[in-house]
């Protein structure tokens, strides 16, 4: 005997799971406490779900210090870890380092020397789970049509 609630429950479950299919893209504006006249911004996602955004999880990084110095993802060496829940950048033990235009590495070491100015969270839907949702909905509709055609 078939359960008539199976398909509606499956549909609701798929719909519920797809609502969690968002990559939380976070944009953080900051300045460095040990540098004057600077401004920075980075964007990233917590890909490994550990509550931290590390350099490998950043999609964009820009730090301007004075007129000539600009640091981006290509010149960034270490930055620390942005703790999403506590809204701080933890810099121990690695600090903040980057490669200068002359090939020299500049290191700022210090405990939590990054001052967070603003944080924006963007909910970006991931295409794969949404595709699975669409496929599941189509499969449910087709199976329902097929089962209704088979009835005498």
pLDDT for position 111: 62
The pTM of this model reads: 0.64
Rounded mean pLDDT, 108-130 = 73
Residue 122 pLDDT more than 70? yes
pLDDT for position 29: 92
The percentage of residues in the chain with a pLDDT greater than 70, rounded to a whole number, is 68
pLDDT for position 125: 59
Rounded mean pLDDT, 47-53 = 90
pLDDT for position 10: 55
Most confident of 6-15, 21-30, 46-55: 46-55
Taking the alpha carbons at both ends of the chain, their separation in whole angstroms is 17
The percentage of residues in the chain with a pLDDT greater than 90, rounded to a whole number, is 20
User: Which regions of 10-145 does DSSP assign to beta strands (E)?
Assistant: 22-32, 38-45, 52-53, 58-65, 69-72, 76-78, 81-83, 88-90, 96-99, 105-108, 114-125
More confident residue, 135 or 59: 59
DSSP category for residue 11: H
Residue 9 gets the label, from left (phi > 0), alpha (psi -120 to 50) or beta, of alpha
pLDDT for position 147: 61
């Amino acid at each position: 005997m078939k359960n008539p609630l199976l398909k509606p429950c499956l549909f609701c479950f798929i719909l519920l799971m797809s609502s969690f299919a968002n990559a939380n893209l976070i944009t953080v504006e900051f300045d460095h406490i040990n540098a004057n006249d600077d401004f920075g911004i980075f964007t990233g996602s917590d890909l490994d779900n550990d509550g931290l955004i590390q350099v490998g999880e950043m999609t964009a990084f820009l730090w301007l210090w004075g007129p000539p110095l600009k640091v981006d993802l290509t010149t960034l060496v270490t930055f620390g870890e942005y703790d999403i829940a506590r809204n701080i950048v933890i810099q121990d033990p690695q600090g903040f380092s980057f490669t200068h235009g002359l090939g020299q590495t500049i290191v700022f070491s210090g405990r939590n020397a990054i001052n967070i100015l603003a944080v924006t969270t963007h909910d970006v839907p991931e295409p794969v789970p949404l595709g699975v949702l669409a496929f599941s909905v189509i499969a449910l509709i087709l199976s329902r049509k097929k089962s209704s055609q088979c009835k005498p």
